[in-house]
Amino acid sequence: MAFWIVVASYLIGSIPAGYLLGRARGVDIRQHGSGNIGATNVWRTLGPVYGAVALLGDAGKGALAVWLGRHFGGHGLELATALAALAGHSWPVFLGFKGGKIIATGLGVFLVLAPLAALFALGLWLVVVALFRYVSLGSMVAALSVPLWMFMLHQPAPYVAFGVLVALIAVYKHRSNIKRLLEGTEPKIG
């Protein structure tokens, strides 16, 4: 049964909220802005309401995957279902394995796994974005901070290690943003 719960979590993670919202408006979100299916590109392309809905949808599928793991397998399975949902969002079967950067889905995952760490990381994201006006920079700093917050909050070692893995995936998914930040061509908000 655990195998099927992990598969279901991957498929839930693969549901492309931003892409579906764009399609509902007659827009292929992958052809606009950064080409990403995530909440930031939806916000920039379709407006703040659609961006907020994409954020909630992506975060919701991460939270649901953790809940499924806990409900059907306890604390051991929740890390596997969380990772499956993140993999689904990042490499969705429904979009040819080209997906988002896992920030919103990761937020949903960590709001259930380690709520205080997630809230501290979200606060850090707000500070970085307010100071520098780069969503990508704020996202990477927040993602990298999650395992540190988890460690300082005395989370179990497997959870901290999971936080490190997710942070590394998030930074990897932001390779193009890092390049643009270094070149000075990354778009700012506002």
Predicted confidence at residue 74, as pLDDT, reads 67
pLDDT in tens, 105-151: 999 999 999 999 999 999 999 999 999 999 999 999 999 999 999 99
Rounded distance between C-alpha atoms, residue 126 and residue 174, angstroms: 18
pLDDT of 189 > 90? The answer is no
169 falls within a domain = yes
Query: pTM to 2 decimals?
Result: 0.95
- Number of independent structural domains in the chain: 1
58 falls within a domain = yes
Is there a contact between 61 and 17 (Cβ–Cβ < 8 Å)?
yes
65 falls within a domain = yes
190 falls within a domain = no
13 falls within a domain = yes
157 falls within a domain = yes
Q: Is 134 helix (H, G, I), strand (E, B) or coil?
A: coil
pLDDT in tens, 165-176: 999 999 999 999
Q: What is the span of the domain harbouring residue 19?
A: 2-183
188 falls within a domain = no
pLDDT of 76 > 80? The answer is no
